[in-house]
């Protein structure tokens, strides 16, 4: 877009598609292809802004996550016995793939979630 062109707020919003990423837990910043097979891979659903080689830290884990693969689409389930992913639930060995939300957190803030009230 040229400097003097304008756009509406709707046009300026970039839609990111959702993808499934594979990560390994490690404090290394890269892993060789040979040693990658020795690491267990975990899947998360996220936006397509992630790329292979990105290192992610989370207060939920003591070890960093290294993105080793970004799949072309989003899957809903993974099978913990076979490692296969699908969008249809067809086995009791399947688990729902969790979301990975990337955001920068302020260091001088406390983050929380409201617990919904229990209804008796």
More reliable by pLDDT, 30 or 17: 30
Question: Is residue 110's pLDDT more than 80?
Answer: no
Identify the band that residue 36 occupies on the pLDDT scale cut at 50, 70 and 90. Answer: confident
Full-model pTM? 0.73
Instruction: Give the range of the structural domain holding residue 92, as residue numbers without chain letter.
Output: 16-99
Task: Please give the order of strands across the beta sheet that includes 94-96.
Answer: 85-86, 77-79, 94-96
Does 72 reside within a domain?
A: yes
Q: Alpha carbon of 44 to those of 23, 92, 119: distances in Å?
A: 8, 19, 32
Specify the number of domains making up the chain. Answer: 1
pLDDT of amino acid 41:
92
**Domain membership flag for residue 74:** yes
């Amino acid at each position: 877009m040229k400097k003097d062109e304008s756009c509406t707020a709707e046009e300026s919003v970039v839609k990111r598609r959702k993808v499934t990423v594979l990560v390994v837990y490690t404090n290394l910043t890269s892993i060789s292809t040979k040693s990658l097979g020795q690491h267990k891979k975990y899947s998360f659903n996220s936006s397509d802004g992630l790329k292979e080689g990105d290192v992610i830290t989370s207060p939920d884990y003591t070890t960093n996550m290294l993105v080793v693969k970004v799949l072309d689409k989003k899957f809903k389930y993974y099978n913990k016995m076979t490692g296969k992913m699908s969008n249809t639930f067809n086995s009791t060995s399947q688990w729902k793939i969790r979301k990975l939300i990337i955001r920068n957190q302020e260091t001088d803030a406390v983050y929380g979630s409201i617990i919904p009230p229990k209804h008796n």
